[in-house]
Amino acid sequence: MGVDPSEVRAYLEEHGWDFIEEGSGDQHRFLFSLECAGGLTLTLEISLTEEGQFVQLRVPDLLRGMNLETSPYRRRVLAAAAEETYRRRLAKVGYDPSDGEIDCCIDLPLEDLPLTRRQFEYALHILVLVARLVHRRASTILQSGRDPGPLEVEDLARPT
């Protein structure tokens, strides 16, 4: 059963988001950007594999433009990322040691179940929220060397 790419395409079009669609057969991917309050733009990737039975929502390169590998605060950022994964549970924060990329993702193994619109919207909302929280915390560490600790929604910039 799973998710058909046309369902994701319709959802993105309904919200008026410009996106790039790639893939064929068993692999399908949608890429788009969201502008968040505080001047942060997140790139989002939705991947469908195993005939739509596995869905991954991902924010790649969360700290784009910030050089984590040469920062003296690298260990603090990685410790904060690990803590965020532990605290948030649904969304995972990952680190690729080959290039220093930090990402945030939610994996949805559907197998023979359908993905409801409510589940999809909830997962997307949580992903964006956690990515914003992790970005804010890691940015603070990289800029000041001080870890503000786990942040909450109230700590994020609000739309003006």
Per-residue model confidence as pLDDT tens digits over 107-152:
999 988 888 899 999 999 999 999 999 999 999 999 999 999 998 8
Residue 55: which residues within 8 A CB-CB, separation 6 or more? 2, 3, 46, 47, 48, 107, 108, 110, 115, 120
Q: For residue 154, is pLDDT > 90?
A: no
Q: What is the mean pLDDT of residues 41-57?
A: 94
Helices 117-144 and 74-88 pack at an angle, to 10 degrees, of 150
- Residue 75, CA atoms < 13 Å, CB-side half-sphere: 1
Number of domains present in the structure of the chain: 1
Residue 94 sits in a domain whose CATH number is 3.30.1460.70
Q: What is the mean pLDDT of residues 88-99?
A: 90
For the chain, what is the mean pLDDT?
Answer: 91
Considering the entire predicted model, what is its pTM? 0.92
Q: What is the mean pLDDT of residues 49-69?
A: 90
Portion of the chain with pLDDT greater than 70, in percent: 99
Domain membership of residue 128 (yes or no) is: yes
Domain residue limits at 17 = 5-142
